[in-house]
Structure 1
Amino acid sequence: MKRFIVGLFAWFGFVVVLVIGAGVGLWWWWAGMRDDEARIPDPAVLSLRLKHRPAEDSLEDPWLRFALRDRPSMRDLVDALDRAAADPRVKVLVADLGETDLGLAQAQELRQAVARFRRAGKPTVAFADSFGEVGTSNAGYYLATAFDQIWLQASGDVSMVGLSIEGVFVRGLLDRLGIEPQIGQRKEFKNAMSPATDTAFTPPVREMLEALARSLFDQVTADIASDRRIDAAILRRAVNNAPHDSAAARQIGLVDRIGYWDEARAEARRLAGADAETVTVARYLNRAGRPNRHGTTVALIHGSGPIVRGGGDRDPLFGHGTLGADPLVRAFDDASGDRNVAAILFRIDSPGGSYVASDTIWRAVMRARERGKPVVVSMGNVAASGGYFVAAPADRIVAQPGTLTGSIGVVFGKLVAKDLAESIGITFDRVRIGEHAGMWSASRPFTPAERAKVEQSLDRVYDDFTAKVAQGRQRSREQIEAAAKGRVWTGAQAHEFGLVDALGGYQTALDEVRKLLKLPAEAPLAIRVYPKEKDSFGLLYDLLLDGEETWWGGAIARLGLLVRLAQRAQPWAERLDELQATLATESLQLPRLETRY
């Protein structure tokens, strides 16, 4: 016992030293970083290296942004490019896109930001050691085509081989194991649980996916052909003959220069002028500050991840986790109750989730509007099923052409493992009070009466979903039904059906805010994130105590943190979470599909 107590005090001492050391180090960095804006070199080259998929949640605390400088958020990237476009000290943009991991909508948003930078009369240089190595990298190449110059390492390839959407089906495995899926859905396009119920795409789902693939592919090829000034027929042949080595890619016109990263940076400095220095996105934002700091106040609320009831499990450092209804409701209540806030920008990147949680968030959006706060939704890579449910009551909805949205439908049920259990000698017995007690148990199938209850619930949820979309979109139920049935649409397709109002990203959404507030087109806006994030010390405190009120509770909870860190290293953990959430709730969920473009 004595050794245990000594160990605990030793651990506490280590934590104290760690916090003090981190604080001193951060203060030292802060003192150097906050001299003044003049420390931005003039002339400067803004340097961007995308090694991780940008998170949607944005960090305001400059220490956290510095600590995660290699993981900029989407807002960081867009803000840096827009601020630099108007900064006379920044002359050129250079970007390393060789390991870029972007969703299509994110790539489109960054392409638009690069285009605004170019319209300011500033050159742009993109580099990749390879656009795909034994794999595809269309997202990186797609973004690169928005730049003036594309550099490719001599040993690299342009692996723009087209687009495929692939589903994995486990119904055959479940049958062999003796597991029976009892799943209901509304309607024929709603395939969130299709991997468990089918062995291949059903005809309606195949029709939907083929239309999605064609829409996405047409968007990408049209933009590339326009920016690279390549005939569309030549580009299609290039796709069908891909991958291309560097020499072939240059001959076709897919890239401009062959060289290494240091040579591309040297070219960017040459374009910027004598004595030009490079500055990273993180350092530039910390020194120059974000745009949209002064003017009419607009609350920015992020909604990222699968939607769940309660508090959810958000990770402000790594962007992983679930979207809890409770903190989002508090954010809307705080923003709508703030007299200084004129409007709310709701950024959604969610495949959906719990129907009940989605309905809770829907009400929060409605309450904000009832309090006189206009709400504009900006969609990220995906805002489908429950993600569209929570967007529907907004005044305006903005999506990228490549956003995946819609999926107005519902699916839920259970997997029955009775035969599997009995095959390995496991039996079940029960005591029951209530006609339908145990109906959700995996040890037995639904009775006919219980199955009828499930069907009634599916109809009720679907009717409520479509009714609320019709109300929010100010359209008839018949019009919404034509776009519903669980069908997923690209943003471009959804725009044709009236499910979204405009195509674009953050800047387009802010333009919609100005229109609703009847402000001039260039009126300044001050963006304020809700809920107010903890600063770096508050976040460190939370991480150390893990929600406990005592240091010894936090020390014990470190085991939980280690488990979560291990989960972050396992992409399959996210898939298991999604499957569990889908089965455990009345699910407004988009299916997981492997999309390679």
Structure 2
Amino acid sequence: MKQFFLTLAGVFAGLVLFVIVTPIALIALAAAGSSAPATSPNTVLELDLREGLTDQPPTNPFAAFGGAELSVIEVVDALDRAGDDRNVKAVLIRLPEMGMTPAAADEVRQAVRRFRASGKPVIAHSQGFLPVGAVMSSYMVGASASELWMQNTSSFQATGFAADEVFLGDAFGRYGVTADFEQRYEYKNAVNTFTESDFTPAHREAMLSWMRSIYDSALANAAADRRQTPAAMRQAIESGPHSAEQAMALKLVDKIGQVEEAEAEAKRRAGRNAQLVSVADYVSNHGLQPGSGSDAIAIVNAEGAIVTGRDAGGGFGSGSTIYSDDTAAAIYEAIENRAVKAIVIRVSSPGGSPDASEQILAAVRAAKAAGKPVVVSMGTYAASGGYWISSEASAIVAQPSTLTGSIGVFGGKFVLTEALGRFGVDLRGLSVGGEYADAFSPTGRFEGQDRAAFAASIDRTYDQFIARVATGRRLPEARVREIARGRVWTGAQARELGLVDELGGLHEAIARAKALAEIPADRSVRLIRYPTQKSPFEALSEAFGVSAEGAQALVAVGGVLASPEAQGVIARARTEQLRARGASVLADQPVR
């Protein structure tokens, strides 16, 4: 019977490989192997922001099947390339109804402005702005267009910026869960979700501060792009909500119409027989710009939570994680490449392991010691561990709305004995060795020497964090302690505090890297990206635990086995194999 189930498992794995993976791999290989066709004359590039954006392109070629199809980096690169592409005559933007990630909106807006500087029009269309999240960031992108259209039935409800927080303190108390944490210091608010029932004064102060910064920045940018004063823009926005007609009367939008009408207008401006091409297809056909020249700038991708170890592969999703082994190895590889004169690390991370962060920071130090400047380009956020790995860079570039800082530490555990006991579950523990061996047991709170030892470890990590920031930013430790305390800042605020050098995106970070490497601003450079994009065969190898060569052979065979005749032979062979091993097979039918 055991062998029967093992055989069935093998059959299922085979079916997954041939029925699901093989077609995907063949599609990916066809796309990878085809030469990029020239853009058709009079192309209108369509940028649909409604599906959301990741910060960076994935290294797994199948990641697009699991989530957002585009990244901020790809959008910016496509718009920059399209500005120089004589066949691309206009851009059509589909705006999301709800908020965009503020830092992503900053970077997209900057790319739109550079595209418009080439003399080509951008038409944005909205089906409404709903009061959800940072909706002003969505409006800011629309305001950067040559024309902003709105559907006639849609409502303009972008009147501010609201954020909600869930507090579990009372619920945990009611159900017998104890959240036993240490935090350094009062602004390190992640633990408040578990210990409080409302905003603490520090939590409220910090959140309102960065929310106002993001809101004010979006208002100012929208006002500048719409050629209004910030005061007039604020008055028009905050007097809402508005109907589409009212929004146009207040000069918040330019025209009212259906998206098909906006598309027709973009095509009219592009010229005769204009064709609509999605940014996703444009990126797929052309890839990211490699640049040219003898000198190179390395671009190291770092998106997600920071953890120790390396990526073992094995997935088709789009989730991102910064593995310290992989990211450090990418930096060391860039150090060893003689053509690389400077390194830009694109960081978009809420933080993670201090040990993993220190491993990556050590690689940053090694690059600087090798004479290669390191510039950090901050994306959506570079907070806590994300700032740790950035702290000693040669320069830091952040968007005005990037969330950064959070220079602090927290840690702890959940005590579950009482909660489980209410359901008749008894939780008991045993330990051998030192008194600290069971410090993190969920059976009880930190007590006595355990509490002192744990608090000391938190203090030690905090002191190390402060020391890295003081060294990297050339600030007195006392000043760092004053502005740290776990507080989150926007990029605009961080620049005023000396935690960031320049406001901008990857475009500006590359320019800063060239300057630090003493490469003339007008000299073209190659862009070498690390980690390198995996081939479809390498991705299959990691996902199914076979060699890349074996995956290639399986995909090739899969193309042959797709025929009905071959599938019938395979099904009959499997049936005979199962019968020979004692299985009861009811019918010789191929699986469909």
Which residue identity is paired with 1:234?
A
Q: Does 1:402 align with 2:401?
A: yes
Give matches, 1:427-576, under 5 Å: 427-433=426-432, 434-545=434-545
Distance 1:212 1:79 in 2: 28
Aligned equivalent of 1:564: none
Equivalent residues, number: 548
Please give the alpha-carbon distance, in whole angstroms, between the structure 1 residues aligned to 2:179 and 2:123.
52
Please tell me whether the aligned partners of residues 345 and 375 of structure 1 are also in contact (alpha carbons under 8 angstroms). yes
Superimposed CA distance per residue, residues 464-507 of structure 1 (whole angstroms, 9 cap, x where no aligned partner):
10001111112211222222111110100000111011000011
1:549/1:484 CA distance change after superposition, 3 Å: farther
Partner of 1:251: 249
Structure 1: unaligned runs, 5 residues or longer: 555-597
Gaps of at least 5 residues in structure 2 are: 555-592
Tell me the residue number matched to 1:191: 189
1:198 Cα deviation from its structure 2 partner: 1.6
Is the 8 Å Cα contact of residues 53 and 100 (structure 1) preserved in structure 2?
Answer: no
Whether 1:88 aligns to 2:89 is: no
- Displacement of 1:190: 1.1
3-state secondary structure, aligned to 1:540: helix
Deviations 1:306-344 (A, max 9, x none): 112222577986431432212112212222122222221
**1:37-86 CA deviation, whole Å, 9 max, x = no partner?**
2xx1112211111232222232579x769979971111110111001111
Whole-angstrom CA distance in 2 between matches of 1:136 and 1:381: 13
Per the normalisation by structure 2, the TM-score is: 0.86
Distance in structure 2 (CA, Å) of the matches to 1:317 and 1:17: 15
Q: What is the match of residue 116 of structure 1?
A: 114
Contact 1:230 1:253 in 2 (8 A): no
Amino acid at match of 1:507: H
The aligned residue for residue 571 of structure 1 is none
Q: What's 2:362 paired with?
A: 363
CA gap of 1:547–1:55, structure 2 versus 1, over 3 A, is: farther
Distance across 2 between alignment mates of 1:351 and 1:66:
22
TM alignment of 1:286-301, pairs within 5 A: 286-295=284-293, 296-301=295-300
Q: Deviations over 1:501-554 (max 9, x none)?
A: 100001110111111111111221211121223112321333344999999xx9
- The AA in structure 1 aligned to 2:35 is R
Does the 8 A contact of 1:51 with 1:70 survive in 2? no
Counterparts of 1:134 and 1:448, CA distance in 2: 46
Overall identity of the aligned pairs, in %: 36
Distance 1:125 1:312, change over 3 A: same
Q: Distance in 2 between matches of 1:246 and 1:171?
A: 43
Paired position in structure 2 for 1:177 = 175
Alpha-carbon shift at residue 366 of structure 1 (Å):
1.3
Q: Following TM superposition, by how much is the alpha carbon of 1:11 offset from its aligned partner in structure 2, in angstroms? A: 4.5
Letter in 2 for 1:541: S
Deviation larger for 356-365 or 169-178: 356-365
What is the alpha-carbon distance in structure 1 between the residues aligned to residue 132 and residue 217 of structure 2? 24
CA distance in 2: counterparts of 1:288 and 1:321, whole angstroms:
24
Residue 206 of structure 1 is matched in structure 2 by 204
Q: CA deviation at 1:446?
A: 1.4
CA distance in 2, matches of 1:134, 1:350: 23
2:159–2:241: 8 Å Cα contact kept in structure 1? yes
Q: Deviations over 1:114-151 (max 9, x none)?
A: 00011111111001222238887333222111101011
**AA at the equivalent of 1:193:** V
In structure 2, the partner of 1:573 is none
Answer yes or no: is the 8 Å Cα contact 1:361–1:390 preserved in 2: yes
Superposition CA RMSD, Å:
2.8
Relative to structure 1, the CA distance from residue 337 to residue 74 in structure 2 (aligned partners, 3 Å threshold; closer, same or farther) is same
**Is 447-456 or 234-243 further displaced after alignment?**
234-243
TM-score (norm 1): 0.85
* Structure 1 Cα separation of the partners of residues 275 and 167 of structure 2: 52
| Matching residue of 2:277 | 279
Matched, 1:168 2:166: yes
How far apart are residue 113 of structure 1 and its match?
Answer: 0.3
Kindly indicate whether residue 312 of structure 2 is the aligned counterpart of residue 309 of structure 1: no
Number of the residue aligned with 1:324: 323
**Could you tell me how far apart the structure 1 residues matched to 2:315 and 2:72 are?**
14
